[in-house]
Amino acid sequence: METIKVIKKIAVVGPESTGKSTLSRQLAKHYNTVWVPEYAREYCEKLTAPCTWQDEINMFKGQLALESELLPKANKILICDTTFITVKIWSEYTFGKSPQEVLEELPRRTYDLYLLMDIDLPWEEDPLRDFPHEREYFMNVWRNELENLHANYVTVSGSDASRFKNAITYIDQYLQADEGGMLK
């Protein structure tokens, strides 16, 4: 009889320059598992013109494909450096609406725990980052998105070292929680 491997998906999400990729790498190492990088970063590095509607759809599909590819390689948990919700947020900000396939996938593609990264770290310049003065706006957008999904999420704040420690505490609490895994 084949054992079904249950993988808990932990999504590290939030506005630009909040330490998502760094924390995702650290958590994957700590939990001896794999992490799903942000597909949009690699995709956007190759763009030679401003991002289009089709680019947003391509990033959505790429993020899902990358996550599906890495899920079987995970060890109990899969750390996701952001999710396709980012496509929804950027599309709505840039184009005033979100691709229909993104909206349809939202209720189907869930994550067990979201770590919402706070904007209390200093902004770090990066050619792929656009909105240093709108971090509070995007933090509120992320909170609203997670609330609308009735997502199980916590906000992770503090310096790099304390973020890592806090994230481990939240994940461990989640993993040890009663059935349903909701943090109290």
In this predicted model, what pLDDT tens digit does every residue of 94-134 receive, in sequence order?
Answer: 899 999 999 999 989 999 999 999 999 876 665 554 666 78
Instruction: Assign domain 8-176 to its CATH architecture.
Output: 3-Layer(aba) Sandwich (3.40)
Q: What is the pTM of this model?
A: 0.90
Question: Residue ranges per domain, the chain?
Answer: 8-176
| Predicted pLDDT of residue 181 | 46
- H/E run at residue 158: none
In this predicted model, what pLDDT tens digit does every residue of 18-73 receive, in sequence order?
Answer: 999 999 999 999 999 999 999 988 887 888 888 899 999 999 999 999 999 999 99
Please state the rounded mean pLDDT for residues 128-157. Answer: 88
Q: Residue 88 has which token pair?
A: 């929804």
Please state the rounded mean pLDDT for residues 136-156. Answer: 95
pLDDT of 148 > 50? The answer is: yes
CA distances from 43 to 39, 46, 97, 169 (A): 6, 6, 21, 32
